[in-house]
Amino acid sequence: MYDRAGALPASRTDFVLESIKEAILYGKLRPGQALVESDLASSLAVSKTPVREALKTLAGSGLVVMSPYKGATVRTVDAELVTSVYDVRLLLEPEALSRAVARGADFAEARAALDDTEDLAVRNLANRRFHRALYAGCGNPLMIRILDGLHDQAALVTAAGWGLRPTWEAEDAEHRAILTTAEEGHGEAAADLLRRHLRTFADRLAEELPDVVR
């Protein structure tokens, strides 16, 4: 079961990491919930070692908070997190979309993502696919990596927002307007629509979510 240097095979480690991440993003592990290594290991039929490593990785991506007193917990979504994530998204995503349109990027993946709307969990993943497909063709690898690094925290914020007051029907209409404008080659107009879309969602969450001291 172990490779060289005593580490667990990548497939086992990745399985545990993705399982815990999906449980958080799907809402099975709730914000603020304690993440007990032994319980997670038992539910996933693994030892505590890959669970411990997965929690460290998730803490690095912002989905988990590690405390010397409380241990690991699912990160609580509050106004501070919303502001931090959306400050960066508002700066970079519209610009990246404008550049992608100017470069003649293919938005077929964004169009396909609009049809994945079976349930909240699928919607959340489809929302991530849609937004990434808008900026993936911008031509700047560093910009893409920065935005990719926000994916997990943005998905956590999105799930929290939909849980407070479902808005996906309005957002679907906004997504379609953004995409149609981009496909028609109007980069600045598409960027403006995307900027408005992001700001509206962020402003609503910042008002509705409590300021939780972590």
Specify whether the CB–CB gap between 94 and 195 falls below 8 A: yes
User: C-alpha angle with apex 97: 92 to 99, nearest 5 degrees?
Assistant: 95
Q: Which residue has the higher pLDDT, 119 or 78?
A: 78
Specify whether the CB–CB gap between 41 and 11 falls below 8 A: no
- pLDDT band of 203, cuts 50, 70, 90: confident
Q: Taking the complete model, does pTM exceed 0.85, yes or no?
A: no
199 CA to centre of own chain:
16
Predicted pLDDT at 107: 97
Residue 82 has pLDDT above 90, yes or no: no
* Averaged pLDDT, 70-90: 90
For residues 132 and 130, what is the distance between their CA atoms, to the nearest angstrom? Answer: 6
Q: Lowest-confidence range among 98-107, 186-195, 198-207?
A: 198-207
Specify whether the CB–CB gap between 154 and 85 falls below 8 A: yes
Q: What is the largest CA-CA distance in the chain?
A: 54
% of the chain with per-residue pLDDT over 90: 55
Q: Is residue 32 left, alpha or beta, with left meaning phi > 0 and alpha meaning psi from -120 to 50?
A: left
For residues 80 and 214, what is the distance between their CA atoms, to the nearest angstrom? Answer: 10
- pLDDT band of 199, cuts 50, 70, 90: very high
Residue 6 has pLDDT above 50, yes or no: no
Predicted pLDDT at 179: 97
* Averaged pLDDT, 142-146: 96
Half-sphere exposure of 136 (CA within 13 A, CB side): 12
